[in-house]
Chain A
């Protein structure tokens, strides 16, 4: 762990509010962006990442210094984001991944995929990631967007390394299909306008 972070952590554990404030300043942008990339909405991401920091503040006494502080903090943030997505999914009940079961069902589900894409709209790569199932979002964001290695992802998500690898592979596959559908749709719309 970075020696500065280590000192700040020690001070914060002793109840120094300024040290915890310094840790927040150091990590708030990273935490906010990880949550935003998983949720896809800046307003919700702001609330969820703030909740993650409050949870970290409350549970600071449980923090084991053998772990990197960033790993512990990301773990809280990722879990908060997953909890948020689960609760909002219950309310909205719309997800692309709810309809894609596996490769064999592609043809059967293709109609639904198009419906979802046309409804949600793939404005950018973030919105495409947002259409993934929750279990794939975290590994895709942490690996391909944050550049973390398998071990770190395994620590943050609490998943075995093998599961991380397989989810990463399947998640990328699904993301590729979403992007393909979106491109097909966009080129069809372009032809229509021409």
Chain B
């Protein structure tokens, strides 16, 4: 055996691992080789010295210091755990609230668009009726012009027209004093209100509105109602509808305030339309026509031949028709100004979601408590549905996260 080989075996021999070499050969080499023998003895001595080293006693206060550190660490861990779980809880609440808020926003947006579409529908209706009115107002004028063209008695009519022209000059003078007239009459204002309400019962609400309206000299112009079903589950959700109320303008504000108390106000708006100018214009036209009627009546009384009488009578008929039309328009204006319109959209909802707008503190507190719980549940429901909807990508993400956590844990264990 060579010295190099023997030196490598010394450690194994001393550690009593004899299976990897020939022990006899090693011992014979040690006996014959002084250098290897010295190395063997030296390592044996060091090993023995190391083995006989006595344990040091623990430093004073070692145990108490360690205990203090562990208690401090334990408190820190508890604090960190509390902070960690609080953060998780805060995140969860934030997610729930965001989910619920988004849901509310969605509903508000959909209800607002509904309200806008309802308002625009009403506007369109008003506009078309306005057009109809102006068309009917313009019609006599057209027919008037037409009658000029077709008149068989142009000469005699020219005489009438010259008088009419004279009177219209007079009228144009009087029209210059319109502003003065405006001041003479009270302002004509049409008030329109819109309220969207969540209520417990559509029937009860419509009944209450009806009673209030009748007690205050108003009337229900229109009621539409329809039943709402859940499209997915085909279950009954409630009754919804629109109520149009006409109420004396002086009681418009009182009526709006009363209706607000019947449920949760989802949306509300008021608009005011000043029709004083149109009213005064129509009134002036009416006066002109009245004067024309008087003059035509005088001419008719003084007419001597048949053709004049026929021409004047034809024109008189037209003027009387115009007068009636203008009068009807003025009556409509008066009606609109005297009676305001309130459009109420009513949504029947479950018990928990309704709170009267004007109620006592206890009811509001109970409502807010229930609302908060409902919001939380709604958020939770939304998250569960989202998870179900996104189960496939979420499963992949969770699998990746799980593998990563296992990998990190095993790394940590190895490091320990």
Contacts and interface: CB of A to CB of B under 8 A. Distances in A.
Contacts of A54: 66, 69-70, 73
B415 A176 contact: no
Contacts of B63: 24-25, 28
Contact of A75 (B46, B55, B409, B416): B416
Interface stretch (B7-15, B118-126, B275-283, B337-345): B7-15
Contacts of A37: 53
A125 B58 contact: no
A176 B46 contact: yes
B56 A50 contact: no
Given A125-B46, A145-B51, A158-B414, A176 B62 contact: no
B381 to A, nearest CB: 34
A58 B414 CA distance: 15
Given A28-B66, A54-B70, A125-B46, A79 B56 contact: no
Nearest to A176: B42
B58 A140 contact: no
A169 interface: yes
A53 interface: yes
Interface in A25-69: 25, 28-30, 32-33, 36-37, 42-43, 46, 50, 53-55, 57-59, 62, 64
A50 B144 CA distance: 113
B67 interface: yes
User: Number of contact residues on A: which range applies?
Assistant: 35 or more
Nearest to A46: B59
B386 interface: no
A21 interface: yes
A125 B50 contact: yes
Interface in A172-189: 172, 175-176, 179-180
A42 B53 contact: no
B186 interface: no
Contacts of B73: 54, 57-58
B11 A76 contact: no
Interface in A128-155: 129, 140, 143-145, 147, 150
Given A24-B63, A46-B62, A144 B51 contact: yes
B416 A76 contact: yes
A112 interface: no
A179 B46 contact: yes
B43 A79 contact: no
A9 B56 CA distance: 26
B42 A180 contact: yes
A13 interface: no
A8 interface: no
A158 B414 CA distance: 8
A168 interface: yes
Contacts of A144: 46-47, 50-51
Interface of A: 17, 20-21, 24-25, 28-30, 32-33, 36-37, 42-43, 46, 50, 53-55, 57-59, 62, 64, 72, 75-76, 79, 125-126, 129, 140, 143-145, 147, 150, 158, 165, 168-169, 172, 175-176, 179-180
30 contacts: A20-B70, A24-B70, A28-B58, A28-B66, A29-B55, A33-B56, A42-B56, A46-B59, A46-B65, A50-B65, A50-B66, A50-B69, A53-B66, A54-B66, A54-B73, A55-B416, A62-B412, A62-B413, A62-B416, A64-B413, A72-B416, A75-B416, A79-B416, A143-B15, A144-B46, A172-B11, A176-B39, A176-B42, A176-B43, A179-B46
Given A53-B70, A165-B11, A165-B17, 10 more contacts: A28-B58, A29-B55, A32-B59, A50-B65, A58-B77, A75-B416, A125-B46, A144-B51, A150-B17, A169-B11
